[in-house]
Amino acid sequence: MTAPLTRPVDEPTVDETYESDRPWQVVVWNDPVNLMSYVVWVFRKLFGYPVEKATELMLQVHHEGRAIVSTGPLEKVESDCHRLHHHGLWATLEKT
């Protein structure tokens, strides 16, 4: 549930359109359980990456601990993040 609006209606506010259009990025974090082959499959399935790109991202996650797998406006990356969570991958969002 959201909190009730308490500020005056004419108070200057952040430009929400601008905020929601700011590019965001989805970060996938390494975990010791998910199979490398499965992670590659997930990246191909969810983002349509060719196997080479998906493998490169998986290896970056494995060796560096994290990789940026998609970018875009908040609505898009939240959807991406949700689908990654549904597939058991640990993903978070960051502003670029």
Partner 1 sequence: MSRPFRRDGEQIVVSLSAPERAAIAALPEVIEAAGDADGRFAYQAHPDDPGAARRYQELVGEDLASLRAADRAAFAAALGADSLDVELAEAFMRVVGEARIVLASRLGIEEDGWEESASIDDPEIAMLHYLGFLQNALVEVLSNPE
Residue ranges in contact with partner 1 by CB under 8 A:
1-2, 30, 32-35, 37-38, 40-41, 44-45, 51, 62, 78, 81-82, 85-88, 90-93
| C-beta closer to partner 1: residue 57 or 91 | 91
Show the beta-strand stretches assigned E in the chain: 24-29, 66-72, 91-95
Task: State the minimum distance, in angstroms, from the CB of residue 35 to partner 1.
Answer: 6
- CB-based contact 69:43 (threshold 8 Å): yes
Min CB(84)–partner 1 separation in Å: 8
